[in-house]
Amino acid sequence: MGSRDQIDLSKLPKHIAIIMDGNGRWAKEKGKLRVFGHRNGALSVRAVVEGAVELKIGYLTLYTFSLENWNRPKIEVMAIMELIVNTIHREIETFMDKNVRLNAIGDLDLLPNKCYNELTNAMDKTSGNTGLVLTLALSYSSRREILRAVRNIADKVNAGELRTEDIDEEIFEDNLFTKGMPNPELLIRTSGEYRISNYLLWQIAYAELYFTTKLWPDFRKEDFFEAILDYQKRERRFGMTSEQLN
Ligand code: FPP
């Protein structure tokens, strides 16, 4: 029986976040340029989105480009931006067909115009879709997101719209990029690195973490299903005891 058949459809995570890592190493192993790894990484994105649609997962959030990634060599940054444009362009009809809504979080104003326009057009076009919400974290830094929320809230307090004592988790979450989304229950990281790398720090407070040594371009639908199966075997206690849960 394949892992897909073992998945309990009544116990799926509503939101899965992924740190797609290892494209560069994958290419290097093959004696190719890093961009070759990113291109093959885009095929893994396609496979995972397909898997998420198949299982009717609500939200899939992919760490596509971090704020820190702007410091990579210009040629690599430009190649990734071009790949993002081409991938969105190529996949938009599939998104419409599969009822996928494209969304993005991060400092999007830093994106090159062409990328920003392709992205926002696709977000507009898919805005009425009601299936999977596919969020690309682009030019994203979780610490920046948290600072931005603090500033927004401080502005509201200064303007007399909010009292300090009324600030709670819900108000804080309403000021994050992920407003309105459930917090991820499962976070997957590929490539054998055991770090969070400034990704969704607030949102993953209770997420189950799944690490695999597979490099991102080798991570396909079956691996995605494996991660979900692993998640389903865990007991999520939220600070309580096993006995309380049972
Ligand atoms: C991390 O591997 C990967 C990235 C920084 C880029 C990921 C982008 C894609 C897969 C393109 C997807 C496109 C869309 C539209 C979602 P790395 O370069 O850090 O690998 P390394 O750690 O082996 O060097």
Query: What pLDDT, in 10s, does the model give residues 66-88?
Result: 999 999 999 999 999 999 999 99
Instruction: State the pLDDT at residue 153.
Output: 98
**pLDDT above 80 for 117:** yes
The domain that holds 81 is classified in CATH as 3.40.1180.10
Q: Which residues contact 37 (CB under 8 A, 6 or more apart)?
A: 22, 23, 24, 25, 26, 27, 28, 215, 216, 217
User: By alpha-carbon position, which residue is closest to atom 11 of ligand 1?
Assistant: 42
Q: Decide if 69 is catalytic.
A: yes
3-state secondary structure of 106: coil
204 part of a folded domain:
yes
pLDDT confidence band for 188 (50 / 70 / 90) = very high
HSE-up of residue 96 (Cα within 13 Å, Cβ side): 9
User: By alpha-carbon position, which residue is closest to atom 24 of ligand 1?
Assistant: 24
Domain count, the chain: 1
When pLDDT is averaged across residues 38-60 and rounded to a whole number, the result is 98
When pLDDT is averaged across residues 30-55 and rounded to a whole number, the result is 98
Instruction: State the pLDDT at residue 2.
Output: 87
Cα 37 to middle of ligand 1, angstroms: 8
Closest to 185 measured CA to CA, from 140, 227, 128, 125: 227
Cα 244 to middle of ligand 1, angstroms: 42
Closest ligand 1 atom to residue 136 Cα is 16
136 part of a folded domain:
yes
pLDDT confidence band for 1 (50 / 70 / 90) = confident
Instruction: State the pLDDT at residue 143.
Output: 98
* Ligand 1, pocket residues at CB < 6 Å: 20-25, 38, 41-42, 45, 62, 64-65, 69, 80, 83-84, 87-88, 136, 191
Share of the chain above pLDDT 70, in %: 100
pTM here? Answer: 0.96
Instruction: State the pLDDT at residue 246.
Output: 77
- Among 64, 75, 81, 92, the mutation site with the greatest number of ligand 1 atoms within 8 A of its Cβ is 64
Q: Which residues contact 59 (CB under 8 A, 6 or more apart)?
A: 14, 15, 16, 132, 133, 135, 181, 182, 184
Instruction: State the pLDDT at residue 235.
Output: 80
Q: Could you give the CA distance from residue 62 to residue 187 in angstroms, rounded to a whole number?
A: 10
User: By alpha-carbon position, which residue is closest to atom 22 of ligand 1?
Assistant: 22
Instruction: State the pLDDT at residue 50.
Output: 98
pLDDT confidence band for 241 (50 / 70 / 90) = confident
Q: Decide if 97 is catalytic.
A: no
The range of the structural domain enclosing residue 97 comes to: 12-140+184-233
pLDDT confidence band for 220 (50 / 70 / 90) = very high
Structure tokens at 12: 């799926």
60 part of a folded domain:
yes
Of residues 5, 8, 40, 69, which has the active-site annotation?
69
54 part of a folded domain:
yes
Structure tokens at 186: 């499962």
Query: How many Cβ atoms from other residues are within 10 Å of residue 17's Cβ?
Result: 25
Cα 23 to middle of ligand 1, angstroms: 5
112 part of a folded domain:
yes
